[in-house]
Amino acid sequence: MKKLLLAGVLTTVLSAPALVNAADYNIDTKGAHASINFKVSHLGYSFIQGRFNKFDGQFSFDANNVEASKVTVNVDTQSLDSNHAERDKHIRSDDFINAGKFPTAKFVSSKVTKKADGGLAIEGSLTLHGQTKVITIDADFIGEGKDPWGGYRAGFQGTTRLQLADFGIQVMGASSYVDMDLHIEGVRK
């Protein structure tokens, strides 16, 4: 359960494909059109799912030059929410993610590659629990276009698996990793 939260970061994190021209976007967290979710094994018997309620970020995307795409996401680790207040308090403690000492997780992309299947591989640095490691997010472009409020939006989804020990987060039983599920919708600046 440890690392789940941040990983989300990744997360989150998705700077992905297929827009008509190069454009910069703010991730739409105010309208709740983006989420950073996690799933972690609970001692090998079941899974605990949750999310990070507070995060922000931006991405740039050009379908004609995918390699120039960029994404940055900041996650408030104290916003970890597994729908159980006492468990959340424990996960946020120094037993696991130590959100008091490390209140922010951050993902910054360094390379975006278009895969043969049309998806994207977004490589970058994730800083979580005071450790920075290179991770890859497998992402897909969902769609883009005008919204009903006069703006223009683009959306992506992505997944990644974080090994908790890589970030110095305590492992309990089979809970050695956390799977992150990222849904990112951005509003063009």
Q: Pairing state of beta strands 104-114 and 70-76?
A: antiparallel
pTM of the model: 0.86
For residue 93, pLDDT beyond 80: yes
**Are 154 and 25 contacting, i.e. CB atoms less than 8 angstroms apart?**
yes
In percent, the amount of the chain with pLDDT more than 70 equals 88
Please report, for the chain, the start and end positions of each structural domain, with discontinuous segments joined by +. Answer: 4-188
- Label residue 21 by pLDDT band (50, 70, 90): low
In percent, the amount of the chain with pLDDT more than 90 equals 76
Enter the tokens of residue 184.
């990112």
Q: Mean pLDDT, to the nearest integer, of 114-136?
A: 97
57 strand-pairing partners? 73
For residue 72, pLDDT beyond 90: yes
For residue 103, pLDDT beyond 80: yes
How remote is the C-alpha of 165 from its chain's centroid? 18
Instruction: Choose between 20 and 92: higher pLDDT.
Output: 92
- Label residue 18 by pLDDT band (50, 70, 90): very low
**CB burial of residue 80 (10 Å; 0-12, 13-18, 19+):** buried
CB atoms within 10 A of CB 97: 30
* pLDDT in the model for residue 19: 37
Total length of the chain: 189
- CA-to-CA distance for 118 and 104, rounded, in angstroms? 32
The CATH number that domain 4-188 falls under is 2.40.128.110
Strands (E), 53-170: 55-61, 70-76, 80-81, 104-114, 120-128, 131-146, 152-163
For residue 10, pLDDT beyond 80: no
- CA-to-CA distance for 99 and 116, rounded, in angstroms? 38
38 strand-pairing partners? 50, 180
- CA-to-CA distance for 62 and 177, rounded, in angstroms? 33
- CA-to-CA distance for 112 and 121, rounded, in angstroms? 6
